[in-house]
Structure 1
């Protein structure tokens, strides 16, 4: 029953937090540890969502200031409510046309967003433009081609077993460039110097099947959007395939993991 929509609905902050935000918050700290930047910097976060990386920057990096932009007012409202910090400003913005002065930020970062930008080259060019000479530009995305988001891969494996046409909606098909080599090439093409990459892995343990399944019924994101577009009977078949196929620990929890690729470079 695959339609033309990719179900990229990114407005409901609470729904997104249940689906991806809780895992995004786990990835952010090791990313910042890897960057290992000085205290007192002026940061820009491009595509802040509900504030997972923003919260980690404020808690761990002692920033002088943080400007965080996102096109979704729904996500920004959630971030503002969660992070009432005078150092942070959450603003509606477009990654492809940043409303900031050239050379005005020490660190420009992006979390789990670049693959959704229509013109990635333009977005990285803008991130480079607003960074100061000697500053850092860095980002990370999920390892979609490598099946690095195991709970998402399990969902789509089950979905495509029932609806082979759904393969065109899977993130692995849509974002084949999310590999270390291609992301490194993208950063170098944008003019970043001393480009490095690393893998960041964290566990995603669901306490039970309901904890796994419920976020897919909320519609925030491609897989949940697809799930809720199904007729009730088809959705129930999908649910039962997943219930039978997911791994279980002795306590009934579902132990999975996620992997992201992180890229960083400097401005010269």
Structure 2
């Protein structure tokens, strides 16, 4: 099938609208965020930094689970920061517009620094990890999690790229499993070790992702938030329709029309040496 592309070959994600991100990935990020914060084992209290806070999923999980004194979310997207400020209303939380590789915090001023579903999108992930280490106090905790885009990982996105690549060989280069080698057990752990953290541990977090029907699965791909939706936006109407129908045929559906998948993330944590 001809690709029918209307935009340049490389389709960059657009992280600007929280309203579009939430039904796409945000709704699945929230249960992972809560499990991740519990998994860090951080002591109650303290001052947290949520690097690449997006729409506020991890920030809210920290408030719900960790009993922080304060938590500050950081994101370079003005749209996401605005969304987070509206959705996270706890007075202990604050949000600032800033980049992960230049955190606007003094050295050794936080108890914990965490990042959810972000580091694979940062052009210089080692520098971002080093920044997270810099801002925590000696003995403080640094943690991060990323989706697993390989087979058996984030199944909703895996199914999308399998279908897209079958119709358009050029789509294979845009597949998140290809673009983001950081998103695996070993690479994520190596990133934290390379940042100088001690006692680094890596584990998987898996949550169910149930869609009420095919439209519930497909519609978020039309919102332009992320690599897969950006690719959909680049297609001609005919190619988009072909991709939609291929997915409709490929996805497993229950008798009631629902689609039961799962999403796996890799999570890593480590401690700054004293």
Given the two structures, how large is their TM-score scaled by the length of structure 2?
0.95
Q: Distance in 1 between matches of 2:103 and 2:151?
A: 31
- The correspondence for 2:115, drawn from 103, 110, 121, is 110
Q: Distance in 2 between matches of 1:60 and 1:208?
A: 32
- The correspondence for 1:266, drawn from 256, 267, 271, is 271
- The correspondence for 1:192, drawn from 189, 192, 197, is 197
Q: Does 1:43 align with 2:43?
A: no
- The correspondence for 2:154, drawn from 118, 137, 149, is 149
1:65-112 Cα distance to aligned partner (Å, 9 max, x none): 011000001011111111112111111011101110100000000000
Counterpart position of 1:240: 245
Counterpart position of 1:222: 227
The alpha-carbon deviation at position 5 of structure 1 amounts to 2.5
Change (3 A) 1:185 1:206: same
Q: Distance in 2 between matches of 1:147 and 1:124?
A: 27
Alpha-carbon contact 1:7-1:223 (below 8 Å) kept: no
Q: Distance in 2 between matches of 1:151 and 1:144?
A: 9
Q: What is the CA RMSD across the aligned residues, in angstroms?
A: 1.0
Q: Distance in 2 between matches of 1:177 and 1:29?
A: 22
The alpha-carbon deviation at position 4 of structure 1 amounts to 2.8
- Pick which of 8-17 and 142-151 moved more: 142-151
Counterpart position of 1:169: 174
- Structure 1 unpaired stretches of 5+: none
1:142-190 Cα distance to aligned partner (Å, 9 max, x none): 1123451101111111111111111000100101232111211111111
Counterpart position of 1:183: 188
Q: Distance in 2 between matches of 1:101 and 1:191?
A: 18
Given the two structures, how large is their TM-score scaled by the length of structure 1?
0.98
What is the aligned length?
268
